[in-house]
Amino acid sequence: MKRVLITICGRAGSKGFKNKNLKTFLDKPLVYYTLASSFNFKDKVEDAQVDVCLNTDSQDLADLVLAKYPEVYFIRRPEELGGDTVPKMAVFQQSLAYMEEKTGEKYDYLIDLDITSPLRQIHDVLGAYKLKIEHPERQLSISGCPSRRSPYFNMVKEEDGKIKKAIDSVWYTARQQAPAVYDLNASIYVFDADFLKNNTTGNIWEADWVLYQMKDTAVLDIDSEEDFEMMQLIGGYLFEKVEGFKAVKDLIR
């Protein structure tokens, strides 16, 4: 039987949006949407033992999670992994090493679910995991959606005081002619555990990826009060109109 570790990672505070991981999103703690997705996956996945852990240096976040989800393993993040520039890969690796020592078991996969990406459908985590299983030659299944803008067609950059094409290529006359590009939404990562153990640079781009496509929900990173308010407007609509999103909210304890 495969063993899967789900990580939920959140630092204390935030320079861009203070205490964003502790916010209430549409009347529920923001982190509870990710917890609901985690335990839905645990209930639905076949032939796998699943553990869920919270990696944080915030006691307030730990208290919030453990109040309703006491079975979650709490990993206190060390100070050296709490800085703004620490790669998240290092936190994944610390979580994996801690949990393997704690349980005495080896994990085959690590799934990270971002706290600030509450808009997942009920099937998304299992879908990303199954895609990784279907592609054993790839080291990572990552979530994203078709990009609204294309660097080949309608994106530019400023260089040497001039506006130029973002990518120096043929200037396509129609978006459909340009190569397909995608926005990564940081919602779901499914790693081979061995890749994490052997990676020494913290560079996620060294992995061989496969892309799991999610529904486009405007791909907002919650880094400001304005982002948060916009996400609540989008979320309110999706929870009312789309059963796949509503089903996640309904599972929150």
pLDDT range class, residue 103, cuts 50, 70, 90: very high
Nearest to 192 by CA among 63, 13, 3: 3
Does position 218 have pLDDT exceeding 70, yes or no?
no
pTM: 0.94
Tokens of 38: 């985690």
Does position 237 have pLDDT exceeding 70, yes or no?
yes
Does position 217 have pLDDT exceeding 80, yes or no?
yes
Domains and CATH numbers, the chain: 2-144+183-250 (3.90.550.10)
Nearest to 128 by CA among 28, 196, 44: 44
CB 50 within 8 A of CB 41: yes
The H or E element that residue 74 is part of is: strand 73-76
Q: Which of 12-26, 42-56, 58-72, 106-120 has the lowest mean pLDDT?
A: 12-26
Tokens of 143: 């979530």
In the chain, alpha helices (H): 30-44, 59-68, 88-103, 124-134, 193-198, 225-241, 243-250
Kindly state the percentage of the chain with pLDDT values over 70: 98
Mean per-residue pLDDT, 123-152: 95
φ and ψ at 120, to 5 degrees?
-110, 150
CB 220 within 8 A of CB 94: no
Q: When comparing pLDDT for 166 and 85, which is higher?
A: 166
In the block, residue with structure tokens 């206190």: 76
Q: Is the C-alpha dihedral spanning 99, 185, 124, 180 positive or negative?
A: negative
